[in-house]
Amino acid sequence: MFILDTCAFLTQKHPDGECITVPGIKAEIVNKQSKQYYNNLISTKLKVLKAKGKSYDLVIEKSKNTGDYNVLSDVDIDIIALGHETKGTIISDDFAIQNVAMELNINFLSCSGKTITEKRMWKYKCAACNNEENIKRKDCLICGSTEIRRVKIK
């Protein structure tokens, strides 16, 4: 089973087999060809499903652990939660989705052939005073600066 992210509809590239996606994907598909491809799949074999609450709780917890939570959209979280619940393979070019999938031991493939090869951990660092936090804030707790950067933990 394959859980399709937006890239599968934009590129029209994904493995053959049982395909599912999440309700929010339709709103992310903006060009005419991708919409037509989505509609063709819906009429033939694509199912639209949503994961249950426990999968979401785990995805949110793990994405906060890796530092990816603040860069994931609601649709991204839906994709990962559905991948966890169904034990399917996520099809996505999004490195944050891939990173959290790796953290959860969910298989993933890419539409473009570009996948991460190692799990990355991220923190948020104030550009002014170098204070680090696990979750992105609007401003630094220490100095008040609003220039907060996402940095890889070495």
* 136 and 103 in a common domain: no
**Which residue from 32, 23, 22, 29 is spatially nearest to 6, judged by alpha carbons?**
29
Q: How many domains, the chain? A: 2
Q: Tell me: do 67 and 25 sit in the same domain.
A: yes
Residue 103 covered by a domain: yes
24-81, pLDDT tens digit by residue?
999 999 999 999 999 999 999 999 999 988 999 999 999 999 999 999 999 999 999 9
Residue 56 to residue 53: CA distance in whole angstroms: 5
DSSP string computed for 40-100 = HHHHHT-EE----HHHHHHHHHHHHHHT-GGG--HHHHHHHHHHHHHT-EEE---HHHHHH
Taking a C-beta distance cutoff of 8 angstroms, is the pair 137, 149 a contact?
Answer: no
Residue 124's pLDDT band (cuts 50, 70, 90): very high
Mean pLDDT over residues 125-130, rounded?
95
Least confident among 4-13, 96-105, 112-121: 112-121
Q: Does residue 97 surpass a pLDDT of 80?
A: yes
d(CA 11, CA 30): 12
Q: Are residues 89 and 14 in the same domain?
A: yes
- Whether the per-residue pLDDT at 154 is higher than 80: the answer is no
Hey, what are 81's tokens? 């939660």
Task: Assess whether 15 and 91 both reside in one domain.
Answer: yes
The parent domain of residue 38 ranges over: 2-109
* Torsion (CA) 87, 91, 96, 99 in degrees, nearest 10: 50
Tally Cβ neighbours within 10 Å of residue 24. Answer: 17
| pLDDT at residue 5 in the model | 97
Predicted TM-score of the model (pTM) = 0.89
Same domain, residue pair 140 and 81? no
pLDDT reported for residue 137? 87
Is 133 found in the same domain as 57? Answer: no
Q: What is the pLDDT at residue 136?
A: 85
Residues 79 and 46 both lie in one domain: yes
